[in-house]
Every structure is written in structure tokens, then in C-alpha cells.
Homo-oligomer: A and B are copies of this chain.
């Protein structure tokens, strides 16, 4: 990863940005791009395995680099992997659009609704009692008979309006008090922020500004960052903005990013800076969309996995990765947003939703709170499918949770033509037309560039039904379909969309290795649900509902997900898409301080099962790496369907 030492330096120019950077001979193009601040996509974080960091060398010489990921035509054009190509002299490098796409702001309204879907909020009507409130006060002017200090008079008036409580105020605000009070004729608006037993007065502004009390809820995803601008006066969401997480250049998943922090001297700072820049960019986008002033954004609430929460706050996540998997803090208090670099009101606070453990993060706590798990009589399950598949089960009396290391197969990595669920990704595959062609849809109706996770769920189901693969996922050479062929690497692969059909130079295929990775991913998640249910002495049928969280759930064909053994076999009406529960929980906490307190209680009371060292889990995992499962009796509804074949 690191550049070879050398005294000689070369100049790189990146097109189309025309950014130049000076780096030592032998540096990889990817490292040079990071230094220059040029975004190049990279799912594997620079290990040469994902094949996403495609760049074109326009001028100059490089050393090294595989040809595996390119067609003959592309190689002639100068395509190379940025993480593998080492600089042998001055270069001009073009970063093609497909390697840049995630740097941009995603237009949420125009087809990326899945990112911002928080309809689950409607399940739990929230009384408006926001984390930050504004009070218009007519503070009595001082007189000889009432000559208490400015702060005393203000607090007295505020206590009257709020109905009691203890206040605190920072020095910077106290310093503004004498002038603000007098210039405003003692008519001011006090902004108050919830801090448990205390209330902080974060700002005292002239006049009545109560109507300008905005908040940002942010879902800090490993892949995608989604922000919501919320009006705390009305509870309404005014706008949404999202973008891919720029930390991706340091690794697609949390493990690679933790490694980057542990191994690079400035690694933590770089990752922290990227996430802060991303959120600030989104806040500016919301600002421009809605023509609001940044000083009216009083507060920001964030939820994400434990590693993301560490990186957001600039806390070293190193010890999350190795056994026994420990974070620095799971329930950080609110901090000044400006202290971490977020550009809202300079006195505004950043509230972090609480995490449960190193691998069950604030996104899960937020989700569990948002779906009202703790209000249910009968047990509910929440599943978040990702590189780590998190599962929580609980009701009003108890809650358990676990995280399975599923690997990033459903996230676009470790599959030949996998990609994130972005424009151009096949999201659904709907049956075989019989002419060696699948019927499918893509996100944004664009020409298919690859497959996202939900498409792989459909694909596995279809291939199994067509007899192309067997229960163990192995290709059946007797299936009689010409799409099944031997690839250039000598392994079998199945053509999903031909190059001609999609107007590209390459066929989209699924390989035997892809299938193995997908089976391991779905097996791990299923095994996690199984271990939790078993520990409680429950069966899947005891569950009142199974909620699928995250963007993944948006396009997921639930029936196929059960069919391949990813989800437990429950009544279909119990399977529900929950939307972005991470953001929903963050918004809910913003709007109601009791919900925020509830999230903290939930996080503290959930029993966490460590699966990585659990022999039961290993057993369940092995049994679950079949389609749908070694023990077909766990899938009663499928028994008939499968035996019919």
C-alpha cells in the first residue's frame, strides 16, 4: 500500500480534474490520487481484488498491474488498476466516469428513494419534544429592585417558559449575553439542548427566531451517507441529500478502514476528514436546495455502525477489529458539532445514537427503537444485511442481538460483476425468458453495469429453479444451457447478460467463486438468526414480524430471499421492508428526547451474542451454506416447491 522509498519524484496529472500531484517514483496511482484528493472508486481498499479502480494511462509509463479485469480493447486503450500500477515517470491519468461515480451527490428524489425511505416512522407516532428547542423570551430588564445578573434573569425567564430544570451555558455564549440582551431590548430567543438531567442553553439570539429551528439526521453508512433536513418546529422532513461515503477509497468495508487507521500514520485523520467533508457537503446541498441559513441548523443526530461512529468522532477504531472486539465508547455524550468539524450552527450539538457492541452499532439501536421493538408483546426480528449482517430479536421484556461476518458479497465486492446498488445496477432478475436471456430491471433504467445484492438473491433462486446449480451451489454441467461456459480462468461461469445485449465490451457473468461467496454471506446471516432464536428457545414461527432494514430491503424479493435460505421461513405477510431504520431512529430521536433516552436504554439492555467464537454458530453456518439449507425441515413452505422439481 505504501509507496516505495525513492529520492526521485514524478508529476501526475489527473484528468478530467486537471489536478496535479508530486509523488515519489514507485507510488501507486491510487495512493497518488488519495494524496491529490482525487476520488477513485475502490471496493477492496487497494488490494487488487475488486477491480473497481479502473483508470486510463494517457501519457507516461507505469509498472505492474493485472490484465484480469480488462478486455483486449480496454488494455489497448490504456486501462489499468490504479491500486496496482506503480509510477515509473511523469504521468497523465484519466479517471473514467465509472470509477468516479461515488464521489458525487446522489439525487435522492430522482430514483434513490430506497436510501431515504423512513416510512417506518409512521409506525410510532412521535410527540414533538425535540432534543433542541427554541424559546422566545421577554427577559425583564434590570432595575435597582431587580438587579440580578444577566444570566440569572435569562434563566429565570427560561425556567418559567420551560417549567423548571437546571441549565448550563458555555463561556462563549455567556460572553455574548450582555450585548445581545441590551441590543435586542431584552427580547431574545434561547436555544436549549437536551443533556439528560441538564439543559444546555446553546445560543441566545436577538428577537424571535423560534420558527427557524432545523436539524439534520444522518445515517452514516459504510457505503452511503444519507442526510435529512428536519424542521423541529413541525416535525417535517424538508429535504434529503445523499452521497457515497468517500472513505471508500481507503477500503469498502469497515475492516479495511480500521486497518487503514491502524497502519497509516494519518489514517484516522484521513478517514475522519472524509466523513466530515461528506456530511458537510450534504449539509451545503440541503442548504442550497432549501435556501436556509446554516446557523438555523441547531443540531445533528447521527447513527451508523460502531466503526463509522468512531470515525465520525475521530476516535481510533483499531481495537474493534481484533478479538475481543472492543470500541472506545458505545454511548458517547453529545459533543459540539464544530468540535468534530461539522458546519452547522457553531454552538450546535452532535448527538450520537448509542451502539451496543463493536459490531452492533447505532444503526441497529436506532432501528430497534424506530420499529418499536421494545413495545411489542410478541418477539420481532430486525435484520440488516451488509458486510456484517446484524440481527436483533426482542419484545417489551428482553432483547438479543448478534452480528455475523457475512462478507461483502451482497455489497458488490467478492463477486465478479457485483456493484453497489447504484444507477446501472441490476436490482431484480425476473425469470428466464427461454432465449438464453433473463428478464431484469436496473436502477434508474440505465444499461446494466453489474449486479447489486438483491439481483444476486433473485439470480440464485432462478439458477436453482432452472437446475443450473444444485443445492450446494455447484454448477450443473448437464443443465444444457449455453450460457454456462468455461471462463478465461478455466472455471465455469454463467452469462447473465451478454455484452451485445448491454452494449458493452464484456458479458456479465456469475462464477462458481461468486456463488460460494454469496452462499457464505447468506449462510452467515441465516445462522445468526438461528443462534439467537435457539438461545431463546424460539422458532421462526414464533416471530410476530421480520423487518428488513436498509437500502438492501428496498428491492429485495422476500420470497426469493426465503427461497435461497437468507431469511427464515415465516408467513410472507410477516416479512416487511423497514426502510432506512438507521435514519428513522436518528430522526425520531431528534424529534423526541424520550426516544433518544429510550435508545440509550435499549443499547444498554440488549444482550449481545458474540458469534465469531461460538461453536453453535459455526455449526449453523455450515448447515446454512446450502440452498436453502441442509435441513430442509426448517423451510416447511419450500418443501413442496422443491420436491416438485
A residues apposed to B, CB below 8 Å: 142-144, 146-152, 166, 168-171, 174-175, 177-179, 182, 197-198, 313-316, 318-319, 323-333, 335, 339-340, 355, 357-358, 610, 613
Q: Which chain B residue shows the least CB distance to A336?
A: B171
- Complex Cα distance, B326 from A144, in Å, reads 9
- Chain B positions within 8 Å of A147 at CB level: 324-326, 357-358, 610
- Chain B positions within 8 Å of A151 at CB level: 328-329
Interchain CB contact (< 8 A) of A328 among B144, B150, B315, B340: B150
The contact sample of 10 A-B pairs, CB cut-off 8 A, is A142-B319, A142-B326, A144-B613, A147-B325, A151-B328, A152-B329, A166-B197, A171-B332, A171-B339, A197-B197
Other 15 A-B pairs with CB < 8 A, given A147-B358, A175-B313, A197-B198: A142-B326, A144-B613, A147-B325, A147-B610, A149-B328, A150-B327, A151-B328, A151-B329, A171-B339, A171-B340, A174-B313, A174-B332, A175-B315, A178-B315, A182-B319
- Chain B positions within 8 Å of A166 at CB level: 197
- Chain B positions within 8 Å of A316 at CB level: 175, 178-179
CB distance from A216 to the nearest CB of B (A): 19
Q: Which chain B residue shows the least CB distance to A350?
A: B171
CB distance from A618 to the nearest CB of B (A): 15
- Complex Cα distance, B645 from A188, in Å, reads 66
Most buried by B among A146, A152, A174, A329: A329
Q: When the two chains form their complex, are residues B313 and A152 in contact, meaning their CB atoms are under 8 A apart? A: no
Q: When the two chains form their complex, are residues B197 and A324 in contact, meaning their CB atoms are under 8 A apart? A: no
- Complex Cα distance, B316 from A142, in Å, reads 16
Q: When the two chains form their complex, are residues B318 and A178 in contact, meaning their CB atoms are under 8 A apart? A: yes
- Complex Cα distance, B144 from A357, in Å, reads 11
Q: Which chain B residue shows the least CB distance to A333?
A: B168
- Complex Cα distance, B313 from A331, in Å, reads 32
- Complex Cα distance, B319 from A166, in Å, reads 26
- Complex Cα distance, B197 from A315, in Å, reads 27
CB distance from A195 to the nearest CB of B (A): 9
CB distance from A428 to the nearest CB of B (A): 40
- Chain B positions within 8 Å of A170 at CB level: 335
Q: When the two chains form their complex, are residues A324 and B142 in contact, meaning their CB atoms are under 8 A apart? A: yes
- Complex Cα distance, B313 from A536, in Å, reads 58
Interchain CB contact (< 8 A) of A144 among B198, B313, B324, B355: B324
Q: When the two chains form their complex, are residues A149 and B182 in contact, meaning their CB atoms are under 8 A apart? A: no
CB distance from A277 to the nearest CB of B (A): 18
Interchain CB contact (< 8 A) of A313 among B171, B182, B330: B171
- Complex Cα distance, B313 from A50, in Å, reads 56
CB distance from A192 to the nearest CB of B (A): 16
- Complex Cα distance, B387 from A598, in Å, reads 56
CB distance from A300 to the nearest CB of B (A): 14
- Chain B positions within 8 Å of A613 at CB level: 144
- Which 5 interchain pairs have the tightest Cβ spacing? A151-B329, A142-B326, A147-B324, A144-B324, A149-B330
Q: When the two chains form their complex, are residues B177 and A329 in contact, meaning their CB atoms are under 8 A apart? A: yes
Q: When the two chains form their complex, are residues B179 and A329 in contact, meaning their CB atoms are under 8 A apart? A: no
Given the contacts A144-B610, A144-B613, A358-B147, A175 and B314 also touching, CB distance less than 8 Å? yes
CB distance from A355 to the nearest CB of B (A): 8
- Complex Cα distance, B149 from A324, in Å, reads 11
- Chain B positions within 8 Å of A358 at CB level: 147
- Complex Cα distance, B182 from A318, in Å, reads 11
Q: When the two chains form their complex, are residues B315 and A174 in contact, meaning their CB atoms are under 8 A apart? A: yes
- Chain B positions within 8 Å of A315 at CB level: 171, 174-175, 177-178
- Chain B positions within 8 Å of A179 at CB level: 316
Q: When the two chains form their complex, are residues B333 and A150 in contact, meaning their CB atoms are under 8 A apart? A: no
- Chain B positions within 8 Å of A318 at CB level: 178
- Chain B positions within 8 Å of A333 at CB level: 168-169
CB distance from A502 to the nearest CB of B (A): 47
CB distance from A138 to the nearest CB of B (A): 17
- Complex Cα distance, B196 from A168, in Å, reads 11
- Chain B positions within 8 Å of A329 at CB level: 149-152, 174, 177
- Complex Cα distance, B333 from A329, in Å, reads 26
- Complex Cα distance, B339 from A143, in Å, reads 32
CB distance from A638 to the nearest CB of B (A): 36
- Chain B positions within 8 Å of A331 at CB level: 149, 152
- Complex Cα distance, B35 from A3, in Å, reads 52
- Complex Cα distance, B483 from A122, in Å, reads 96
- Complex Cα distance, B235 from A239, in Å, reads 59
Q: When the two chains form their complex, are residues B323 and A144 in contact, meaning their CB atoms are under 8 A apart? A: yes
- Complex Cα distance, B168 from A335, in Å, reads 11
Q: When the two chains form their complex, are residues A178 and B142 in contact, meaning their CB atoms are under 8 A apart? A: no
- Complex Cα distance, B355 from A197, in Å, reads 25
- Complex Cα distance, B151 from A332, in Å, reads 9
Given the contacts A150-B328, A330-B152, A178 and B313 also touching, CB distance less than 8 Å? no
- Complex Cα distance, B297 from A109, in Å, reads 56
Interchain CB contact (< 8 A) of A149 among B327, B335, B339: B327
- Complex Cα distance, B152 from A614, in Å, reads 24
CB distance from A155 to the nearest CB of B (A): 10
